[in-house]
Amino acid sequence: MLVGEIMTSPVVTVRADTSPQVVMSLLARRRLTMLPVVDAENRLVGVVSEVDLLALPEPLDPRAHLRPAPPVVAGSAPRTVFELMSSPPQTTSEHADVAEVAALFRRTAWKCLPVMRGDELVGVVSRSDIIRAMSRDDDEIQDDVNRLLADLDPSWQATVTQGVVTITGHGPDRQGDAAASLAATVIGVRTIRLTEPRRHDVSAEGTTRSTASPWSVDTWVCPPSSGTGVDQL
């Protein structure tokens, strides 16, 4: 899967002179975790997230403390997004591999990334976008995979169970590799197993059985394009 296939677009953005209160209202109302910050030419200059907004001063509740808490000093709170935003922003490309972005989200506390097409902001991709793609119905995935395999060779067929694609065919090894690569482009595919009936193992009892070679989408079919799936402006 590519980021551009699952990203949220168009993008809700704010300017650097927007007030934190407006940002909080947007995040709460639209159920977002981050907003890209753009300049007058709509160029991305930063991002403001829930974590950034937690830096806003909050008065302590005296009921939770034995001693009176010091009051919040008037004028100490940031008045614009510019004072809170993270800059330069971390971004990703619409052509980045979703597997790489998912791995990045696992390693960090990030929940969302702006998606760029060159210097143009074209979307955002979040953990929720990835989960939504991963939860796609098996029948839909199977139909899409088999549609692609039919163009390769009608002898290749796929079945899908809980996002795991099992491909069976009779072609040469390079055609099997091509079939697995095609399956990896379909939204919702999580793992690919390539089973070729022409390959047989003989068991200790003298009977034959077909063998299956499991290949992970993350490690075999989807080699990293940049190593991380993330860029910095």
Q: CB–CB of 53/21 below 8 Å? A: no
Alpha-carbon Rg for the chain in angstroms? 24
Percent of the chain topping pLDDT 90: 65
Phi and psi (nearest 5°) for 17?
-95, 10
Determine whether 135 is exposed, middle or buried from the number of CB atoms within 10 Å of its CB (0-12, 13-18, 19+). Answer: exposed
CA dihedral 160, 166, 169, 175 (to 10 degrees): 110
3-state secondary structure of 55: coil
225 pLDDT more than 60: no
pLDDT of 160: 96
Report the amino acid identity of residue 65.
H
Q: pLDDT for 35-48, tens place per residue?
A: 999 999 999 999 99
Provide the whole-model pTM.
0.73
pLDDT of 57: 80
pLDDT of 60: 80
Euclidean distance between CA atoms 3 and 6, whole angstroms: 6
Which helix H or strand E contains 167, and what residues bound it?
Answer: strand 164-168
Q: pLDDT for 54-110, tens place per residue?
A: 988 887 887 888 887 777 665 667 889 999 999 999 999 999 999 999 999 999 989
Mean pLDDT check: name the lowest of 9-18, 43-52, 59-68, 119-128: 59-68
Tokens describing residue 154: 């009608």
pLDDT band at 213 (very low <50, low <70, confident <90, very high): very low
pLDDT band at 221 (very low <50, low <70, confident <90, very high): very low
pLDDT of 78: 85
pLDDT of 142: 96
pLDDT of 195: 84
Q: pLDDT for 185-197, tens place per residue?
A: 999 999 999 886 5
Task: Look over the chain and give the mean of its residue pLDDT values, rounded to a whole number.
Answer: 84
pLDDT of 207: 36
pLDDT of 198: 46
Q: CB–CB of 142/192 below 8 Å? A: no
Of the candidates 197, 191, 214, 196, the one whose C-alpha atom is nearest the C-alpha of residue 141 is 191
Q: pLDDT for 146-175, tens place per residue?
A: 999 999 988 899 999 999 999 998 878 889
